[in-house]
């Protein structure tokens, strides 16, 4: 009788051990998966931080840098357009159109230059530049030229006039302030200059 009970007790212990084994494996597997998820999460957080994104949000610094990039191209294009238009004796409207066209050209050119350095082919780089800068430059040009157009006497001012340069500086400043939130919104949704980041890191 005692031998039988011992045998049953031994079988019961073995059964419990067998049942506990998968549980231990499952717990270990869960810890491993949790560790993998945690590592992946940290990597994602570091990647976002490198792009000016902290806690899933785009920083104002990243948005300002993207806007300043567009502002540089716009300023070069507009000043050059004004110089050419004035030298050729064009009227206000043709000169402004030329300035806007050149603003887009130089805005795209600055982005293209950076992407092509990463070894990307021109066709792909051009598509990325269009996606990154079109809306930003359009908003900036709308605000910039709107300020110049409605500022009394600004359209008739010559390059040698202090009024021309003063109004241009104010217009670019206003355009920068208004366009920065636009870029922040776009980058936060993976658009605008967000598409350029993968070629810079």
Q: What is the pLDDT of residues 165-186, one digit of tens each?
A: 999 999 999 999 999 998 888 8
Report how far apart the first and last C-alpha atoms of the chain are (Å, whole number): 76
- 62-117, pLDDT tens digit by residue? 788 888 888 998 999 999 998 898 888 888 899 999 999 999 999 999 888 888 88
The whole-angstrom distance between residue 73's C-alpha and the CA centroid of its chain comes to 17
Which residues are 57's β-sheet partners? 54
Q: What is the pTM of this model?
A: 0.65
């Amino acid at each position: 009788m005692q031998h039988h009970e011992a045998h049953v007790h031994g079988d019961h212990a073995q059964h419990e051990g067998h049942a506990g084994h998968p549980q231990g494996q499952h717990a270990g597997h869960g810890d491993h998966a949790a560790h993998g998820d945690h590592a992946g999460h940290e990597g994602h957080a570091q990647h976002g931080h490198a792009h000016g994104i902290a806690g899933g949000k785009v920083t104002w610094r990243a948005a300002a840098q993207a806007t300043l990039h567009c502002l540089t191209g716009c300023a070069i294009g507009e000043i050059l357009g004004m110089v050419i238009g004035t030298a050729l004796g064009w009227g206000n409207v043709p000169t402004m159109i030329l300035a806007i066209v050149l603003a887009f050209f130089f805005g795209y050119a600055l982005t293209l230059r950076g992407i092509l350095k990463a070894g990307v082919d021109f066709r792909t780089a051009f598509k990325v530049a269009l996606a990154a800068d079109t809306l930003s430059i359009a908003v900036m040009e709308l605000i910039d030229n709107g300020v110049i157009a409605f500022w009394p006497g600004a359209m008739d001012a010559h390059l040698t006039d202090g009024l021309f340069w003063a109004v241009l500086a104010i217009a670019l400043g206003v355009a920068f302030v208004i366009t920065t939130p636009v870029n922040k919104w776009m980058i936060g949704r993976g658009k605008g200059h967000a598409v350029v980041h993968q070629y810079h890191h």
